[in-house]
Amino acid sequence: MEVTLKVLRFNPETDTESHFEEYKVEADPMDRLLDLLHEIKWYQDHSLAVRRSCGHGICGSDAVVVNGVNRLACKILVKDLPSEITVEPIRGMPVIRDLVVDMEPFFAGYRAVKPWLITDDREHEPDRERIQSPEERARFDDTTKCILCAACTSSCPIFWSDEEYVGPAAIVNAHRFIFDSRDSGADERLQILSSKNGAFKCRTAFNCTDACPRGIKVTMAIQEVKQAALYRSV
């Protein structure tokens, strides 16, 4: 079958504005959208810039806007798409070229929530295993699935309008440690997320939950973080 791809292109060296370019691609219904982008880049127009690494939905490199919604190009199949497909770079971050955006504003929010294990004893190396029960592990299981693809944060209307907002992905990754029984940095993180540009900027638009290619209940995680911040304040 033949599908038409409309790709939003931008070349910083020649363009002042981005524009759509159309490509006709011969595709199999079981092809991924990523295969079609490869087809264009390898055989039709070498100048197309695309980010991808693993191609199997785990590296988080190829989040794009497909027919208006955020998806991983490697996780969406041609059979689930109409015969005319529009592909745009993810929103809310500066476009470097074509489908490649500058992810640094996204990672600035991520770094702000200290996404690493914080323990009480920071002087000494641990001398025993940090034991955790299956129930304790299950408490934050959902948020361990994040692959930092930015599909959630770049779908968030608050992040579009205000890049100072830490964004849903940062809160998801804070949740992953706040509710981890081995971690003792919950207070530090909740303090950061209680600030002006933290979790309370979320207006529960649910775009993030819809966008997450890993099926994380992002909005629910954010609400749990808000609740924890409130209980900490009482």
Binding site for other proteins (CB under 8 A): 94, 102, 104-105, 108-109, 112, 158, 161-166, 191-192, 194-198, 200-201, 203, 226, 229-230, 233
Tokens of 174: 């804070």
The helix/strand/coil state of 101 is strand
Q: Which CB, 36 or 113, lies closer to other proteins?
A: 113
Rounded least distance, CB 157 to other proteins, Å = 9
Q: Which CB, 8 or 205, lies closer to other proteins?
A: 205
Q: What is the DSSP string of 200-229?
A: GG-----HHHHH-TT---HHHHHHHHHHHH
Q: Which CB, 30 or 234, lies closer to other proteins?
A: 234
Q: How far apart are CA 96 and CA 92, in angstroms?
A: 12
Q: What is the DSSP string of 37-99?
A: HHHIIIII-TT-----SSSSSSS---EEEETTEEEETTT-BGGGS-SEEEEEEPSSS-EEETT
Tokens of 102: 């500058």
Rounded least distance, CB 189 to other proteins, Å = 11
Q: How far apart are CA 150 and CA 155, in angstroms?
A: 8
Rounded least distance, CB 135 to other proteins, Å = 28
β-partners of residue 64 are 71, 89
Rounded least distance, CB 66 to other proteins, Å = 25
Rounded least distance, CB 167 to other proteins, Å = 9
Q: Which CB, 124 or 196, lies closer to other proteins?
A: 196
Q: Which CB, 5 or 113, lies closer to other proteins?
A: 113
